Amino acid sequence: MNMTRNPSWERKDLLGLKELSAEEITLILSTAESFKEVIGRPIKKVPALRGKTIVNLFYEPSTRTRISFEIAAKRLSADVINIATETSSVRKGETLIDTGRNIEALKVDMIVMRHSYSGAAVMLARHVGASVVNAGDGWHEHPTQALLDIFTLKEKLGHIEGIRVAIVGDIAHSRVARSNIWGLTKLGARVTVCAPPMLIPPCIGEMGVSVTHDIQEALAEADAVNVLRMQFERDSGDAFPQQLEYFKNFGITEERLKKAKKNIIVMHPGPINRGIEMSSEVADGANSVILEQVTNGIAVRMAVLFLVAQANENRKTRRARSAKTEVHVPPDGSSASGPSVGVSESQSVRDYAKRVSGLTGEPVSGQTS
């Protein structure tokens, strides 16, 4: 397997799919293909991230995502630390930024974070030099879940461009839906969202998707259906439909699949609420790829960890080289050759400005004549 990093990946963080280009998404998917071969070996390990330390910082409950990231990191030979916020200093009032900075002070290379607030991963990435990977933030994005969904579709169908995907369920509260929409549409897929009116965001059409409230219409031409978890815990005003009512009108059943394409792919990010989002017969049936999604999540997360770690390492190397070769112009007019030691670029510019001012007699901006 060729482990050479593609120079087109330059991001130290993965915060969402909205900001990525189609080429960057494709690079992650192609890198994941190589790592899929690794996890199929008898010895499922490569030394790609040996010596790196990765912290899983989860502010929300998680089973699949946290374990998947942990396995992915260990398959790359990284050291992994799991932090449960309910037993950490967060309970004592420590802020997210302080938590991140303290973790970084322990010489950690990467933080994988899940948080209940949208934008939390972006904020943390702005305040730490370590790489940050978004494992889900509020209702915003869940980029690695969407990437593994897209990887699974590509594996099954051979391509993404032109396929039709129906996303069914709690669109309003779903970070999985948003990341899937960004990723799929960037790669040329046609996406339809389907849910009761109260679970469809009013401006969802601006993301380039079609909207329907008819489940059979959504399934009619779909090559795949991604069934979202109904997040009843987020219903603060009894706005959600009753569970049995929802299953009757929007649940994926064998009867409904008989009217769809014969080989329609059934997906779910988990955990499944059987008898609410889909029947057990569908979840365990021939069209379901739910467990394959879980397996593919390891390869996709290996690819993400590898790419962002290498990008951040290269970033640090470039900065170190830039600091060593920085040219300093002394204020006394002596030779300016050779590297500057311990002097910032802004200080060098100010010194040079003073020197020019002294030679010409003209005032420099910020000085008085």
- Which residues are the active-site residues? 64-65, 92, 114, 142
DSSP secondary-structure letter at 321?
H
Residue labelled with tokens 């192609």:
30
How many Å apart are CA 220 and CA 260, to the nearest integer?
Answer: 5
Q: Give the tokens for residue 157.
A: 């169908």
How many Å apart are CA 114 and CA 132, to the nearest integer?
Answer: 11
225 has which bridge partners?
Answer: 166, 266
Instruction: For the chain, give the number of residues.
Output: 369
DSSP secondary-structure letter at 106?
T
83 has which bridge partners?
Answer: 57
Residue labelled with tokens 């170190």:
320
Quick check: 300 and 148 in contact, CB under 8 A? yes
How many Å apart are CA 161 and CA 154, to the nearest integer?
Answer: 9
SS3 94: coil
How many Å apart are CA 111 and CA 15, to the nearest integer?
Answer: 12
Question: CA distances (Å), 44 to each of 1, 73, 298, 366, in order?
Answer: 13, 12, 11, 62
* Neighbour count for residue 281 (Cβ, 10 Å): 14
* Neighbour count for residue 154 (Cβ, 10 Å): 19
How many Å apart are CA 338 and CA 317, to the nearest integer?
Answer: 20
Write the Ramachandran bin of 188: left for phi over 0, alpha for psi from -120 to 50, otherwise beta. Answer: left
